[in-house]
Structure formats: C-alpha cells, structure tokens
Amino acid sequence: YALLRIQCEAISFCGIGGGALLSIVSAASKPTEKIKIFAIQPVFHFQDPDLVIWEPISRITRLLRQLKLHNESFDFSSFPAEVGLSGYGRVYYSTLRESKRLRTLARKNLTKLNAPIQLVQLGKDLNSGRPDIDWILNGPLTVKSQLKTLPLEIDEVGTKDGSMSISNAMINFLNLQEPMAG
C-alpha cells in the first residue's frame, strides 16, 4: 500500500470471500484515505450446521487430549457443502476460527470506511446468504454502498465470461464520477 500510495493518486481494494473482508479491514485501518472497496461475496457466516458446532467440540477435544483422556484429533471438517463445492475436501477448524475472527473484525470496522463500497452477489452464493450483504447495505455504514448481482456461479468467476463480467462491474464502479445513490 505504501509503495502504491507514492505513485498512485487513488487506490482501491478488491477481494472475494475472505479477501472482501480483508479489503474492508485494510481500508478501515486507513480512515483518512478514501479507498473504494469492490467486495465480491463477502463472507460473514457459513450456513452448514457442522460449522456451528466446531468450536465447542474442538475445545472439548483439546481439553481431553491435554488430560490424556482422548487421543483422537478433531481437527477438520470433511463435508460442509459450501466447502466441498469450492474444491476443498476438508477445512481445518483452526482456519474456521481465524475466519470467524476476520468476520468479527470486518463487522467492527465497517463504520470506519471512508469511501464507497460495491458489493457483488453471484447468482448462487455458496458461502453466505443474502442476509450478510443486506447487513452491510442496511448496517452501520457511514459511506455509500450499492449491490450488483451477477448471474454467475462461484466456479464461473475464473472463466473468460465470468472474469469479463466482474471486470466490467469493477471498471464501472471505479470510474464512477458522481456519488452513488444509497
């Protein structure tokens, strides 16, 4: 960021999923800068019930291992639908714990944003429901935000047509000359 700031008049952050949350946190850490954010599928929660119970079970398992009462490890989930569809066969609970911390930090930092945010919802949101995007749109933001829905599946984002759709939406957002309507 520091190197870009020296050479560029304006800087924008873009991310997908957890990267969208990192964009929010990063832009919020520079409250005097007007950093536009292009957030694709910001993830604030996972829908799979397996992910809801991971934290208490992993804590109990750790305690049992420390007491030498249990040797088996309960380190990963192997079947959440949204994870399986993303190409990963398993996700470690420690990763989910860090993801939860990032989501909490992003929510806390939304009010510190100082420039518009463009939210992008794909045709089928695998990681989070529309309530997350609605929370941002209707939440405690002090900046303008808008929603763009693209008729893409998550696995189409990297294709030629998918990347062109996202690129066009991003270019339109970044080239915006007048303030966005709330």
Q: Are strands 117-122 and 36-40 parallel, antiparallel or unpaired?
A: parallel
Tokens of 108: 């806390």
pLDDT at 174: 87
Q: What is the pLDDT along the chain (182 residues), one digit of tens a residue?
A: 889 889 988 899 999 888 998 999 999 999 888 899 999 888 765 555 555 666 677 777 778 878 877 666 555 555 444 444 445 556 666 777 787 788 888 888 888 888 889 988 887 655 445 556 777 777 777 778 888 888 887 777 778 888 899 889 999 998 864 444 44
Q: How many CA atoms, within 13 angstroms, populate the side-chain half-sphere of residue 40?
A: 23
> 134-156: buried (b, 16+ CB within 10 Å) or exposed (e) per residue?
ebbeeeebebebeebebebebeb
What SS3 state is found at 181? coil
User: Which residue in 124, 120, 114 sits closest to 167, CA to CA?
Assistant: 120
Element holding 7 (H helix, E strand):
helix 2-7
67: its two tokens: 């007491």
37 DSSP assignment: E
Model pLDDT, residue 29: 92
Q: What angle do CA 154, 126, 14 make, to 5 degrees?
A: 55
pLDDT at 46: 58
Nearest CA to 96 among 78, 115, 69, 121?
A: 78
Classify 148 as helix, strand or coil: strand
